[in-house]
Structure 1
Amino acid sequence: MTMADDRQERIRNRAHQIWLQEGQPAGHHERHWHQAAADVDKEDAAGKSAAKKPAGAGKAKAAPKAAKPAAKASKPKKAATK
């Protein structure tokens, strides 16, 4: 099976899924086919960009946040003198 045959088969399967999800409407096969082709192209583009990145080369994790300094202790209140 060639790559073109594989793509056609994927589009056919995706168009069928769309048709089923929409309740099997008659007369929308062309729209389903174009939508399926766009979906397959998106999948292929996402797969190629993911394949170019080395494993673990995703977004870097943020450094842990520094602990907040302890609240200042308030001065003790003076006792009222009489």
Structure 2
Amino acid sequence: MTDDRQERIRRRAHTIWEQAGRPDGAHQQHWDQATAEIDSEEGKPKAKAAQPKKPAAKASGDTKPKTARPRKA
């Protein structure tokens, strides 16, 4: 990481921290957000974050399981 880029990230992270009300313990989140913003400005692709898997879509209509009806004699 170049010194200039690191300084830009540091300044942006500090601004984010101030805008968030100066909370304790959020340094890494602010640094990550600042890094993403600086990379975006520089046109660098973002690292892909792990995306949670989406559940399979349910079929439309009745959601109750179908049961067999007894046959009439």
Q: Which residue is 2:37 aligned to? A: 39
How many positions carry a matched residue from both structures? Answer: 44
TM-score, normalised with respect to structure 1: 0.51
Q: Which residue is 2:71 aligned to? A: none
Separation of aligned partners in 1, 2:35 and 2:11: 10
Structure of higher CA gyration radius: 1
Residue type of the alignment partner of 1:43: E
Residue identity over aligned pairs, in percent, reads 59
Deviation at 1:19, TM superposition (A): 0.1
Cα shift readout 1:28-82 (whole Å, capped 9, x = no counterpart): 0000000000000001118xxxxxxxxxxxxxxxxxxxxxxxxxxxxxxxxxxxx
Q: CA RMSD in A?
A: 1.5
Q: Which residue is 2:25 aligned to? A: 27
TM-score, normalised with respect to structure 2: 0.57
Residue type of the alignment partner of 2:7: E
Higher helix residue share = 1
Q: Runs in 1 of length 4+ with deviation above 2 angstroms?
A: none
